[in-house]
Amino acid sequence: MISKESYIINGKHKKSILIDVSFVAEKTNLPIIIFCHGYKGFKDWGAWNLMANTFAEAGFCFIKFNFSHNGGTMEHPIDFPDLDAFGNNNYTKELDDLESVIDWISDNKELKPIVNLNSLHLIGHSRGGGIVLIKAEEDERVTTVISLAGVCDFGKRTATTGGLNDWKNTGVKYVLNGRTKQQMPHFYQFYEDFIKNEERLTIKRAVSNLKTPHLIIHGGSDTSVLIDEANQLHEWNPQSQLEIIPDANHVFNAKHPWDSYTLPKELQKVIDCSVSFIKN
């Protein structure tokens, strides 16, 4: 039987981080997977809960969390009731949140008897794919890293999502969320933080220096993050493993909400590839 526990931990930036942990009860020495959602994402999106259960059944302690400034709240973790937090998010905060989660796992007395801290694996989707690559390069506790439909460049996404001068002058720009129809704010601090930390936030630098085994999984029909970005990551790290899933879109043919009790076959393939990569 799968056990699922929820936790709230303190982040480094005055906002809490909501975590859930899934594992098969009464098992021990479980390898750990930490999953990072992407831009305009959250831990309970679509089929992510079903994915968590599937990884747990495969013998992992699967941990996913909401970034502290993703726009959700502790009371309403799905969608984006806190747009002010969303607008104040940035890549550095997401890296800090991931570090807080890794630290929490390492120090957690409840989980210590059931997990293997020497087998800690990061999986990130889309923007989260870039976050886990940077963290894997700088944190020796990470055993393997897997990018799902991962981006290869934060820089081009930071400066070109609107007129830079207008953004600076007004202090904010908005992006429409096509699903919720919300105008999502991006405060100018996002750009300032990127420029201040550009070397650290350059994915090419991280991937080129990566010593951790790296699996790249990308959908052959992804129109949100093009397959060219997966090929670029693989070129920067020739030791990485590249897996293209034909006919898979950016979310591996899942959607939100996801009402089925089974995963789309493309997302199941993601899990199968990930499990094989980690175990081998």
Do 231 and 242 contact (CB within 8 A), yes or no?
yes
Residue numbers in the chain where pLDDT is lower than 50 = none
Q: Is 230 exposed, middle or buried (0-12, 13-18, 19+ CB in 10 A)?
A: buried
Do 225 and 244 contact (CB within 8 A), yes or no?
no
pLDDT in tens, 35-79: 999 999 999 999 999 999 999 999 999 999 999 999 999 999 999
Can you point out the beta strands (E) in 126-189? Answer: 144-148, 172-176, 183-187
Residue 85 to residue 108: CA distance in whole angstroms: 27
The SS3 assignment for 108 reads coil
Closest to 23 measured CA to CA, from 66, 69, 56? 56
Q: All domains of the chain, ordered by start, with CATH?
A: 2-154+201-279 (3.40.50.1820)
Q: What is the pTM of this model?
A: 0.97
Tokens of 89: 């998010």
Q: Give the pLDDT confidence score for residue 156 in this predicted structure.
A: 87
Q: Is 6 exposed, middle or buried (0-12, 13-18, 19+ CB in 10 A)?
A: exposed
Q: Give the pLDDT confidence score for residue 210 in this predicted structure.
A: 99
Residue 62 to residue 55: CA distance in whole angstroms: 7
Q: Which residues contact 278 (CB under 8 A, 6 or more apart)?
A: 31, 33, 60, 119, 121, 143, 144, 146
Do 23 and 56 contact (CB within 8 A), yes or no?
yes
pLDDT in tens, 197-229: 999 999 999 999 999 999 999 999 999 999 999
Q: Give the pLDDT confidence score for residue 160 in this predicted structure.
A: 60
Please count the CA atoms within 13 angstroms of the CA of 7 that sit on its side-chain side.
Answer: 18
Residue 154 to residue 266: CA distance in whole angstroms: 26
Please give the angle made by the CA atoms of 167, 223 and 122, to the nearest 5 degrees: 85
Residue 81 to residue 38: CA distance in whole angstroms: 17
Task: Please state whether 97 falls in left (phi above 0), alpha (psi between -120 and 50) or beta.
Answer: alpha
- Dmax over CA atoms of the chain, in Å, equals 57
Please count the helices (runs of H) and the strands (runs of E) in the chain: 10, 10
Q: Give the pLDDT confidence score for residue 259 in this predicted structure.
A: 96
Residue 120 to residue 49: CA distance in whole angstroms: 20
The one-letter amino acid code at 155 reads: G
The one-letter amino acid code at 179 reads: R
Length of the chain, in residues: 280
Q: Give the pLDDT confidence score for residue 193 in this predicted structure.
A: 97
Residue 105 to residue 180: CA distance in whole angstroms: 33
DSSP state of 260: -
Q: Give the pLDDT confidence score for residue 159 in this predicted structure.
A: 67
Q: Give the pLDDT confidence score for residue 162 in this predicted structure.
A: 58
Residue 262 to residue 254: CA distance in whole angstroms: 10
